[in-house]
């Protein structure tokens, strides 16, 4: 019997993932990843409650259960990275880094060393292979086929477009895909909830987790405030056709991101949108004009490119997504400047392109990879 270590967070998605794997006759072991335990003023880290919920699910399913303590590595690989990016004036995505460094590297390596054949998570994504013979044999067998049997595993969008998480998974490696199963990829969220209720799982009615990956229900400004001092500065209106003038004061340029509307605390008249910031001068620039050219762009400069398989062909039809759940934008031309840099020209303009965020490429339903906006 093949063994699968499934990441159990205590939520409904990972619980149902474990349930489905057990139904497919795998030897399933639940793993709770302890990535964070620090409390913040007024906000208690939920890790103990999450751990207990995950353990209850494991007991219900009759599977073994373990905890992996990755807190030291998470702080170094995810939190330190996130803080460095914010201090540099960029807006990173910690969930993407968590997937790259913790779930599909550290968890995978630890689990394999611990004796598992595969890992699984409750992510909404699918893994397929481009070889048609393997595809046909897969369809003939109802069991979830381990991906080591696939010649060229590819990351595909989930059936549930609203829940699809491939944007957060684009930095996964082909080697990791070969050892990974995503049991929820062909389900929609209501089906997952229904399965949890049918089997009376304790997580069936649990709400969606919010906040920073594994940290809990804390906003990014409150989180950053624990590590950086407030540094008041000017909010400056740079709307086209107007003279530059100060419209308010901020707590620190580090707390603001391109396109941001809420939290500016600038009263009167039309709403303001952040168009840029100067970290050295500690100034935040805004406009009331949603069509301001500073908010729009038809090209993207990318660094730290990662392709799951190989770089796309020049003639390949591509789309790009610059935020989770944002619409896919057709790519006019992809210029690969090096193995790690690219210039992307788009068929239409996109709003609030933000340095530090990720741009992720798709060809049809296949997630190819992506890079960091600079």
Positions marked catalytic: 98, 213
C-alpha closest to that of 18 among 56, 63, 55, 69: 63
- Partnered with residue 365 across adjacent β-strands are none
Three-state secondary structure call for residue 28: strand
Secondary structure in 3-state letters for 58-80: HHHHCCEEEEEECHHHHHHHHHH
DSSP state of 210: -
Q: Is the dihedral of CA 166, 344, 175, 104 positive or negative?
A: negative
Q: What are phi and psi of 159, to 5 degrees?
A: -60, -40
| Surface-to-core class of residue 158, CB atoms within 10 Å of its CB (0-12 exposed, 13-18 middle, 19+ buried) | buried
Q: What are phi and psi of 87, to 5 degrees?
A: -65, -25
Contact 312, 363 (CB under 8 A): yes
């Amino acid at each position: 019997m093949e063994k699968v270590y499934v990441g159990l967070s205590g939520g409904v998605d990972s619980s149902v993932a474990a349930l489905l794997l057990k139904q497919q006759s795998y030897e399933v072991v639940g793993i709770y990843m302890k990535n964070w335990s620090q409390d913040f003023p007024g906000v208690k880290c939920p890790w103990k409650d999450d751990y207990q919920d995950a353990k209850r699910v494991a007991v219900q399913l009759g599977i073994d259960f373990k905890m992996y303590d990755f807190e030291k590595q998470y702080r170094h690989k995810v939190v330190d990275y996130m803080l460095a990016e914010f201090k540099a004036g960029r807006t990173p995505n910690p969930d993407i880094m968590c997937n790259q460094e913790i779930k599909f590297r550290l968890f995978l390596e630890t689990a394999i060393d611990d004796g598992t054949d595969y890992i699984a998570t409750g992510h909404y994504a699918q893994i397929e292979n481009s070889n048609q013979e393997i595809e046909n044999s897969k369809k003939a067998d109802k069991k979830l086929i381990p991906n080591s049997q696939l010649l060229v595993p590819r990351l595909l969008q989930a059936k549930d477009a609203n829940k699809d998480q491939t944007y957060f998974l684009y930095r996964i490696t082909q080697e990791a895909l070969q050892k990974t199963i995503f049991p929820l990829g062909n389900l929609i969220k209501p089906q997952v909830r229904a399965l949890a209720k049918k089997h009376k799982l304790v997580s069936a009615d649990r709400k969606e987790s919010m906040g920073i990956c594994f940290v809990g229900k804390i906003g990014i400004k409150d989180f950053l405030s624990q590590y950086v001092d407030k540094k008041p500065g000017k909010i400056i209106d740079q709307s086209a056709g107007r003279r530059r003038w100060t419209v308010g004061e901020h707590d620190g340029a580090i707390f603001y991101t391109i396109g941001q509307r809420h939290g500016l605390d600038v009263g009167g008249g039309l709403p303001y949108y952040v168009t840029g910031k100067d970290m050295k001068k500690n100034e935040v620039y805004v406009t009331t004009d949603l069509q301001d050219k500073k908010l729009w762009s038809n090209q993207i400069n990318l660094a730290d490119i990662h392709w799951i398989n190989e770089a796309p062909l020049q003639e390949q039809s591509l789309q790009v997504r610059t935020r989770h759940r944002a619409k896919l934008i057709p790519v006019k031309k992809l210029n690969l400047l090096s193995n790690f840099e690219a210039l992307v020209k788009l068929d239409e303009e996109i709003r609030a392109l933000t340095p530090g965020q990720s741009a992720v490429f798709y060809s049809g339903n296949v997630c190819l990879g992506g890079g960091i906006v600079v």
